[in-house]
Structure 1
């Protein structure tokens, strides 16, 4: 297949959704081209090397509630091994009189919604009165509002403000990079929303889904990093004849006889019978609404030094640090810390990477730990001040850490403004124009939602 040949399927975006669609369509014998604006495939799945170990720069786990990732790996024969996190879970840190308080995150919660509000680990955080209020929620009348409220309003109304503030909101900010007041349950966790509508109770809905096993059992990873999933899918698509083009931004999309034409940033064009937009909501809306619209800002090239950039608009900073401090050897906060708003900390979450993933610990030099800090604000860690990083690690872990204990740091910036889902009217316009949609903009956040939706898109194209 030459670069000028028309194709059966053109996929815009080489994130995980675009790669799944491309692999499935190519395996079915279709002629496929993937156009990615940036220099890498994988989207939020990217590798990063620190302390000599290659690990995940972006998403480092996936929810196991659907089994979609394991099924994808097994059915497509991808050379990947699923990894499970070490038992122990994470902790929550929240503001308290005279400083901070901390406790293990409740084991049986979904998005911070407790399956058993009277469990000791819930009471420890929210208090007995707030726990009793939440426990009475199943007796409340089922909500009949015409429009779905934001997640914080829903949780505060049904479960009480302390559960919303200390459990639901911190989890939402940590996992989805947005406050609960700016999110909808139906979009973050469609199955939990469906069960809430079915049961009329958040507590009962959470109880029907909450894991009964060890902490952390609701997520999985991939040995060597989740980024390897994207790399394996790209390799599989290419093996079946697909062209995967990077540094190939799509600047316009227009209808032509027999399908669509994609205009690329270098002025060249790709003709395709079907087009799949597997990009973020902002880029998808621009291409759908205006044939001359752009697909959003182009990803810049790799800058010099150890600060890497993956988009500029409304980015969130994530810093990985390699630390040599004996107090961390006992994994004092388990897999990490989620930080409640109002806490005097620059980070909204900390992951003790080698405490969470045993394979990372096996690869690290003795005594060295890798911690990952997700900043509340994009510029929080840009200065790479090791004294400030050490203070942050000490605050969140409770371990004495000095600037000299930090051996290395790597700062990444990830765009978040484009996350979210497409409005219904834009989806309708895409359908009218014969444009197929995939990815988080239509499927919801996370691999557990994105992968099965993308596989269904691929199967439909193959038929």
Structure 2
């Protein structure tokens, strides 16, 4: 029975990057994807002839992961930056709802300057003074890191958590701050904070003077094109990409790794599990997978709206929604206000909005009337149901980054030829996922070179 060099389970961006780089280095590579198309969270939708991202629509530029992949793979793609304007925050205050621009110099909602006017507007004078006192606390230690919620509350005060960090954490990373650690969401900020002994000093070191939300990029025409072009490039290098193939189990077997699908058992020298965390756990521990998985689903609703009141872009690129706001959405993106390439495709008066559901299982974003009500609430601009001329939506069942196994188990698996890639192990976002995936692919290439020398 033939044994492949490398078998990749999961055709998301991590799996495709590994397949491309390993195949380019001369390895025999096969990708198995359970869905009928590759791309993972990078997916395309269309409304009234306009194509756009219905999944991830931007990436952090804190690493060169995306730009480096595009250059090395020769992908015909252009990285673009969002239009000026930034995003707004909708939260609750003593007088009711508070709508304000996100502070300019913040990192993950942690301000660099507690007394900046845009910070005081959200926190108030007392909240800003409490935040400023963080620099006078005992130096932050890197040992025994608490949750992000505990860290921010203890050092910066509850208002910073409630009005800045929690809304960003839930909207961008689909997790409450209590469930994550800063070192995983933003490693550079954590390193800087530990180095300086202060969250404020760390934010000051990491923040830029650009508008809020400027530290991201996109792809001209949509992020979905990155997955589509990388799929093509990987196949051009000789990788086999098979969709509609579900993997049932993965196990070490007599010096190789056996991968069981519905129709066969295949073997490889190395196997990479590049799925979401829940799927990875199910493959590594089929018996334990009988326990119900609690990973929340992510639901995105897109709406095409005819309403010239949005031509001035009243909330910039969108709105981050605090948990206390009575809304079915945790975030809104005014997509054509954010991306110039999309604005060029729409006539004056027509606008594309993306709403991220707060709870994928809860009602509230199904009908034009639902969506009009939510857009009006979040933007402060009146919208009628008749203004919503088209709707579509997408759901992602395993999109939240949670470590599937601990570090010791990762080492044991790697020694057996089983490796993990993607957000579940590398951290959140393409800025973390792509460098990790490409380093992993390079390690297979170097191992293969040594074995044939």
When the two structures are superposed, what TM-score results if normalisation uses the length of structure 2? 0.93
1:91 matched residue in structure 2: 88
Asked if the contact 1:323–1:407 (Cα under 8 Å) also holds between the matched residues in 2, the reply is yes
User: What is the alpha-carbon distance in structure 1 between the residues aligned to residue 239 and residue 214 of structure 2?
Assistant: 36
- Partner of residue 262, structure 1: 259
The aligned counterpart of 1:116 is 113
Match of 2:342 in 1: 360
How many residues in Structure 1 have an aligned counterpart in Structure 2? Answer: 445
2:145 maps to which residue? Answer: 148
Q: Unaligned regions of 5+ residues in structure 2, if any?
A: 447-453
Q: What SS class does the counterpart of residue 121 from structure 2 fall into?
A: helix
- Residue 70 of structure 1 is matched in structure 2 by 67
The CA RMSD over aligned residues, in Å, is 2.1
Which residue does 1:134 correspond to in 2?
A: 131
Structure 1 CA distance for aligned equivalents of residues 123 and 312 of structure 2: 27
Q: Is the 8 A contact 1:87 1:215 kept in 2?
A: no
| Conservation of the 8 A alpha-carbon contact between 1:13 and 1:34 | yes
- CA separation in 1, counterparts of 2:410 and 2:36? 28
The 3-state SS of whatever aligns with 1:136 is helix
Q: Spell out structure 1 runs of 4+ moving beyond 6 A.
A: 292-297
CA contact (8 A) 2:246 2:261 kept: yes
How big is each residue's C-alpha offset from its partner over 1:70-89, in whole Å with a ceiling of 9 and x where there is no partner? Answer: 11111221110111100110
Alignment of 1:100 onto 2:83? no
Q: Is the 8 A contact 1:282 1:418 kept in 2?
A: no
Q: Give the SS at the match of 1:349.
A: strand
Partner of 2:273: 277
Map residues 443-462 of structure 1 onto 2, 5 A cutoff: 443-462=426-445
Superposed CA offset, 1:179-199 (max 9, x none):
111111111111211222211
Q: How far off is 1:428 after superposition?
A: 3.4
CA distance in 2, matches of 1:85, 1:156: 31
Tell me the secondary structure at the aligned position of residue 186 of structure 1: helix
Inter-CA distance 199–446: structure 2 relative to 1 (3 Å threshold):
same
Residue aligning to 1:60? 57
Measured after TM superposition, the shift of residue 399 of structure 1 is 1.1
* Equivalence map 1:385-424=2 (5 Å): 385-416=367-398, 419-422=401-404, 423-424=406-407
Aligned to 2:6: 9
Q: Post-superposition shift, 1:258?
A: 4.2
Preserved contact between residue 7 and residue 30 of structure 2 (Cα < 8 Å):
yes
**Higher alpha-carbon deviation: 36-45 or 427-436:** 427-436
Query: CA contact under 8 A between 2:357 and 2:365: conserved in structure 1?
Result: no
1:421-436 matches, cutoff 5 A: 421-422=403-404, 423-436=406-419
**Do the aligned partners of 1:375 and 1:381 also contact (CA within 8 Å) in 2?**
no
2:173 is matched with: 176
Partners of 2:289 and 2:269 lie apart in 1 by 21
Is the CA contact (8 Å cut-off) linking 2:272 and 2:421 kept in structure 1? yes
SS at match of 1:363: coil
Q: Secondary structure at the match of 2:344?
A: helix
Instruction: Output one character per residue of 1:103-152: Cα deviation in whole Å (capped at 9) or x when no partner.
Output: 00001111101111111111110111111221221221123484211101
Three-state SS of the structure 2 residue aligned to 1:128 is: helix
Paired residues of 1:45 and 1:227 also in contact (CA < 8 A): yes
What's the offset of the Cα at 1:344? 1.4
Query: What does 1:215-254 correspond to in 2, within 5 Å?
Result: 215-254=212-251
Verify the 8 A CA contact 1:177 1:416 in the aligned structure 2.
no
In the aligned structure 1, how far is the partner of 2:444 from the partner of 2:288?
25
Name the counterpart of 2:359.
377
- Cα pair 1:67 1:448 within 8 Å, conserved: yes
Q: 1:384 to 1:287 in 2, by over 3 A?
A: closer
What's 1:302 paired with?
none
Match of 2:330 among 327, 330, 348: 348
Structure 2: distance between partners of 1:294 and 1:451: 28
Q: Distance in 2 between matches of 1:17 and 1:401?
A: 40
**Shift, 1:277, TM fit:** 1.2
1:384 Cα offset (Å): 2.0
CA contact (8 A) 2:29 2:239 kept: yes
